[in-house]
Amino acid sequence: MLAQLEAQEELLAGQIMFTTLANWVEDIVWVNDCEGRLLFINEAWVELTGLSLLQTAEFGWLKVIHPDEIQGLLDARVEQFENGVPFERTYRVLTREGTYVQLSARTVPLKDSHGKIVRWFGMAIVDDGKDD
């Protein structure tokens, strides 16, 4: 029983550490389950779009994707989840201020010891067109 409690505490500490780190970075970070359901999205997304995790889940994120890019983005997402391949794409997102910004996004799979995908980790940066 004590070992189980310690394992639960360690898992909770890891979740807190991940959430803290993900919300600390300025880039957008998210996690999907193996089927693409949104499990986590950081505060950078909320600040950019005004959409919460609940509003973003179940394809709610499509509300802020530029209409010209929705179908291509959905097609690429289907390929990603069906074939288990990383995803890289640039697309426009509507901000809470009502203007579009371009995001450069990438997702990669996390696989278990048997090679089965258990999570997808994603990250997107606002592409302002400036070279640093």
Does pLDDT of 102 surpass 80? yes
User: Could you tell me how many helices (H) and strands (E) the chain has, helices first?
Assistant: 4, 5
What local confidence, expressed as pLDDT, does residue 33 receive? 93
Mean pLDDT value across the chain: 87
Give the pTM.
0.80
Q: Say what the pLDDT of residue 12 is.
A: 64
Q: Sheet containing 28-33: give its strands across.
A: 38-41, 28-33, 117-126, 100-111, 87-94
**Residue 53, pLDDT score:** 87
